[in-house]
Copies of this chain bind each other. A is one copy, B any other.
Amino acid sequence: MVKIALDCMGGDFAPGPIVKGAELAVKENIAHVVLLGDEKAIKTHLGTSKDIEILHTNTTVEMHESSSTALRKKKDSSMNKAFELVKAGNADAVVTAGNSGAAMAFAIFTLGRIYSVDRPAIATLHPTVNEGTSVLIDSGGNVDCKPMHLIQFAIMGDAFAKSVIGIKKPRVGLLSNGEEETKGNELTRETNSILKYMDINYIGYVEGTDIYNGKVDVIVSDGFVGNVALKVAEGIADSLNAFFKIKINSSIKNRMGYMFLKDVFQELVRKTDYSEYGGAPLLGVDGICIICHGKSNEKAIKNAIVMAKKFAEKGLNQSIKETISGYQSINRLKEK
């Protein structure tokens, strides 16, 4: 059975929902889970599942701590100890809802990068109108990218879509401010000119609208733009839920309407709820790591454990390694 190293101290509401999420996963027999963090704090939240393994740690990476400070001072944290478990072969994947910058830093420091990858990147999954899933990479912290970084994101996103989502020939697009080749900025224009000649199903520039319309499977972007796109989507989902809540509670007529449409609203909430996806994989490090939203509830944590298990079983990293090593030209460029 797959074994997950869970950082119980990371997240805005840790350790409560993190521990509860682990309990759910264990009860459903999804995976073995090792809980890392303050043993006493963890035990106050553990219900009946006394058989979950706890690995006590003394320090915690704070949510707004800089990753360089964390790297220097928090090697004994619950977060880094989780990565060490995977590195030593004592767990198959890390799940953390902690400081994502620090998680990225510890993942690189402790697990190391896959050969040929300069910058590991966060891939987020998005529902599309045609019931599919699109992947946005990088949704994380890689700002000021060079074309070579975006090309690596494209290769990793392609391998991810193939091996984990099961799309035979993923359509890979480059996020831009218009579809025409004359659009884009310096970074996207140079990246576009290289991606065109690569052995991936590259469909050219895509726009913000295309993340959800099912036109593209893998959307490549630098982490600054990707993060803005992600947060816009999150903001709209929040505003929308707030809007309906106010309206539905404002009159008896509206509450009646809600009763009829309850299933539809619940489906919408599910579709726009990040906790359904659980978390986002950090691609490019030599081990599996799922980074969860800081506000993760127990369902999100459980689903992140499901995701981590799936990635471990599907050999995600093997697929990325094989794909990226096939691009000899990238290695040659790197060796220059």
Contact = CB atoms under 8 A, between A and B. Distances in A.
Nearest to A256: B260
Given A257-B260, A260-B254, A208 B185 contact: no
A207 B236 contact: no
A238 B260 contact: no
A253 B258 CA distance: 11
Interface stretch (A4-12, A85-93, A210-218, A326-334): A210-218
Interface string A6-38: 000000000000000000000000000000000
A199 interface: no
A218 to B, nearest CB: 16
Interface stretch (A108-116, A174-182, A305-313): A174-182
A228 B229 contact: yes
Interface string A221-257: 1011101111111111111101110011000011011
Given A180-B64, A264-B244, A212 B236 contact: yes
Contact of A209 (B180, B238, B240, B247): B238
A207 B228 contact: yes
Interface string A181-222: 010111010000000000000000001111111000000010
Interface in A103-151: 128-129, 141, 143-144
B256 A177 contact: no
State the majority secondary structure of interface residues on A: helix
A5 to B, nearest CB: 26
A129 B234 contact: no
Contact of A227 (B66, B144, B208, B267): B208
A138 to B, nearest CB: 10
11 contacts: A143-B185, A207-B227, A207-B228, A208-B229, A208-B231, A208-B235, A209-B232, A212-B238, A236-B236, A236-B237, A257-B260
Given A128-B239, A208-B231, A248-B264, 10 more contacts: A143-B185, A144-B185, A176-B224, A188-B224, A207-B231, A208-B228, A211-B235, A212-B235, A253-B260, A258-B261
